[in-house]
């Protein structure tokens, strides 16, 4: 089924993201997970750190590549010769902004289509924002992020608290 791009902030990658990555990698020959800038969000991890965490949790998935881009998603897709974007949809509330983004992206690059995968009900409540909130208060993160990165998320908050 060709190449698809799964774009997002991934700040940090959650179990919900990983579920979409695994299912996308079953559907497409190659899935490029791309860390992009969302101008509406303030980052916790740097883009390079997010890439490193994503690479670690996708190391066993041979047709998944992790990359980063600072530009427009449509330009990145054109450069990578990809015609499909994969997005996860958690709830109806995600739908409006996701449809708007899908339309903008296809306006910028007419060959680009967006495919939505519904989020597994197990992770319907999950987001990177929830993970950061839980981590801030020292909650157990094992239901939220892949176990390989739990320490990194905890360490980030420890570092931040020390900086004051
Ligand atoms: O995980 P997120 O924050 O919902 O992902 C949103 C993201 C990063 C995919 C979106 O903000 C994006 O595509 N940013 C790159 C800039 C761009 O192409 N904007 C036009 C689409 S509205």
Q: What is the pLDDT of residues 103-139, one digit of tens each?
A: 999 999 999 999 999 999 999 999 999 999 999 999 9
Q: Which of 9, 13, 33, 36 to mutate to test ligand 1, by most ligand atoms within 8 A of the CB atom? A: 36
Identify whether 142 is a catalytic site residue: no
Beta strands in the chain (DSSP E): 3-8, 30-35, 64-68, 84-89, 113-118
For residue 157, what pLDDT band results from cuts at 50, 70 and 90? confident
154 pLDDT more than 80: yes
> What is the residue with the minimal CA distance to atom 22 of ligand 1?
101
Among 4, 5, 8, which is best to mutate for testing ligand 1, by the most ligand atoms less than 8 A from CB?
8
Given this model, what pLDDT does residue 164 score?
63
Residue 163: pLDDT over 80 = no
The residue behind tokens 């990555």 is: 21
DSSP 106: H
pLDDT beyond 70 at 86? yes
Return the pLDDT at 5.
98
Q: Is the CB of residue 103 below 6 angstroms from any atom belonging to ligand 1?
A: no
User: Average of pLDDT values for 46-60?
Assistant: 98
**Buried b or exposed e, range 123-150, using 16+ CB within 10 angstroms:** beebbbeebbebbeeeeebeebbbeebb
Confidence (pLDDT) at 160: 73
Is residue 161 scored above 80 in pLDDT? no
What is residue 4's predicted lDDT score, i.e. its pLDDT?
98
What beta strand segments (E) does 72-142 contain? 84-89, 113-118
The residues facing 33 across adjacent strands are 6, 66
- The pLDDT of residue 158 is above 80: no
Q: How many Å apart are CA 131 and CA 134, to the nearest integer?
A: 5
**pTM, two decimal places:** 0.96
| Residue tagged active-site, from 17, 50, 69, 87 | 17
């Amino acid at each position: 089924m060709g190449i698809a791009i799964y774009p997002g902030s991934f700040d940090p990658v959650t179990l919900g993201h990983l579920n979409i990555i695994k299912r996308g990698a079953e559907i497409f020959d190659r899935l490029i997970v791309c860390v992009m800038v969302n101008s509406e969000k303030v980052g916790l991890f740097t883009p390079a750190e997010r890439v490193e965490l994503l690479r670690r949790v996708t190391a066993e998935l041979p047709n998944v590549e992790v990359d980063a881009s600072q530009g427009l998603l449509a330009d990145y897709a054109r450069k990578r010769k990809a015609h499909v974007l994969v997005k996860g949809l958690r709830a109806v509330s995600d739908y409006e902004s996701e449809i708007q983004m899908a339309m903008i992206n296809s306006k910028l690059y007419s060959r680009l289509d967006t495919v939505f995968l519904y989020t597994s009900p197990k992770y319907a409540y999950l987001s990177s924002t929830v993970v950061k909130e839980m981590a801030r208060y020292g909650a157990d993160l094992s239901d939220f992020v892949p176990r390989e990165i739990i320490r990194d998320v905890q360490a980030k908050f420890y570092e931040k608290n020390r900086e004051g």
